Amino acid sequence: MPSSGGTGDRVHVRFTTEKDVGITEFVNVAINRFAGTFKHRITDFQVTEIGQDGLPASLTSLQAPPLPASSSSHDLVESTANLRRLLGDEAMETLQSWVESSARGDKVELLSEPMADKAQRSELHSLIRIVFEGALESTTVENRVRIFPKKGGGNQNRQNRGQLWRDMGFDYCKFVLYKENRDTIDAVNQVCRMLHLSPKSVQVAGTKDRRGATSQWTTAFRVTADRLEKLSNNLQQIKMGNFSYCKNNLNLGDLLGNQFKIALRHVTAKSEDVEQAIDSLRTQGFINYYGLQRFGTGSVPTHEVGKLLLRSQWKEAVDLILSPKENDLPNMSLAKQKWHDERDASASLKLLPKAALAEHSILSYFSKGGSRTTDYLNAISNIPRSLRVLYAHAYQSHIWNHVASSRIKLGRELLVGDLVLDRSLPSTVESNPAEQSDDVEVVDPEGGDLADLNKNIAVRVLRTKEECDTSTIYDVVLPLPGNDITYPENLREVYQTMLERDGFDMGSRDVFNSAIKDYSLPGGYRTLLCKPTDVSWNLARFGEDSEQLILTDVDRLKANVLPHSDGANCALILNFTLPPSSYATMALREVMDVND
């Protein structure tokens, strides 16, 4: 682990390599791996989530359906449309924002355009009462209608709206969220911000990559499809569609997998070598490693922070996160140096980039002064829980990768002592809900989040050579270290050596059993190998790197077509499907050259 020599010293940190995190082996060493350019364009990497019902989250329609039948809902739709006609879209969104944010008695108001016709003003007053059901009041001021929140009216309004949704028999709008070059969390937060919703109102089954065109199922609590449609029409990198109404929301992990469409540019390999490599991937699969993005792309490997947190070394974890690094970006470098030179949290905070979430959280806590400046545990606890848990899970993944490489070196024959799936019992492999796809910037939000790991897994130990004949290498699972798992007898020493080297006693009842829930890890299981399904490929010619090679859902809605090209360059268009917890980059690594 990198360490600093003293205040202001810079830690020399090289970026994490595959070898650093145990990614060293291959399933098939005999194939000719080829080189190619990955993710040159945003549309070169496309991900479509597969829901638990087996339906892909393909964006095929942008139109909102009518509300489910009920007399009250039809009346509301008609009244809302008439109110929007009188006030306009912008004013309607303002009024809805007051209601959604429960602005009761706030000193805000809205004036309509002048209305000389008294009947028109009366209609407007009536519509406000019907649509907003007591949350807003209105009066006439010089031929204009003044609208403002009613003091104490928000609670009644929510009750009335709740009754409306109960009459319809649904509580959620389900839709496809399509995004380009946006993080899932960032996209959801923008939707919530623009509709004046709490971020908790919108749920997804997992996060998807930023650099790519991705689509996923999403639910929104008591938000009508027409509101989502109107917002979608005004967004550039985000689109929403395929709306329906349902009774239940999505939870993290509510998916069967992800479909990938990938364009690898500048492939110079022979067609027969490509065919051999892809056929090997289809039939033999790949080692189910956690990809590099699991361990962060910043200057501090997330598993190193996780190791310190699991050892309750709060000060050391803070020092590692805040130590100046030689490869820090300029603003980050200035902020960290300020902290190390002067221990002035407020001044350091002003220099820190907002994207530096962990550093910002710690310095924000320290900036409040007093005893807080040495309260390292609570400073760490000020980091959002999702990121704190990721640190701990990254350490588990680091151990898993190294053990997986050790097991592969023993060969592909089943061995006495192996752990395998017990297919006689129902189980869910790798039920960690946030591990959904691939390449994320700072840390991998898909690699470990808020729920228990693999709580439904069923495994058994192979105790005789005869039992080894009842399973295959694709049934073999390896545990992520924790306080409630079984270790394979033939690899127990490998786990023990690695854990003891990092200061953990595998035989202790206290290991990974912290009094702090976030760092009490039950452990879990992950299959050693993974086979992609629905594998297909073709070679395509292109001239310039700016040429698009794969149509997106939005392209198809617009009836766009790919340009015909007889260019000098060759690209591999590769399609496959992976289960929720597997990494596309690790599948590609099996067939492509890897440069350390």
Catalytic residue numbers read 209
Across the strands, what pairs with 218?
175, 204
Sheet with 144-149, side-by-side order of all strands:
110-111, 144-149, 136-141
Angle CA(429)–CA(482)–CA(184) in degrees, nearest 5? 55
> Residue 278 is which amino acid?
I
Among the listed residues 348, 304, 290, 320, the one whose alpha carbon sits nearest the alpha carbon of residue 584: 290
Tokens for 439?
Answer: 């390449």
**213-221 and 202-204 beta bridge pairing:** antiparallel
Q: Which long-range contacts (CB under 8 A, 24 or more apart) does 372-376 make?
A: 373/343, 373/345, 376/314, 376/315, 376/317, 376/318
Q: Which long-range contacts (CB under 8 A, 24 or more apart) does 65-69 make?
A: 65/225, 65/243, 65/244, 65/245, 67/168, 67/224, 67/245, 68/168, 68/169, 68/170, 68/245, 69/168
Among the listed residues 318, 336, 316, the one whose alpha carbon sits nearest the alpha carbon of residue 328: 336
Contact 42, 208 (CB under 8 A): no
- Work out whether the CA dihedral 391, 397, 401, 406 comes out positive or negative: positive
Tokens for 409?
Answer: 């070196």
* Residue the block writes with tokens 């004046």: 196
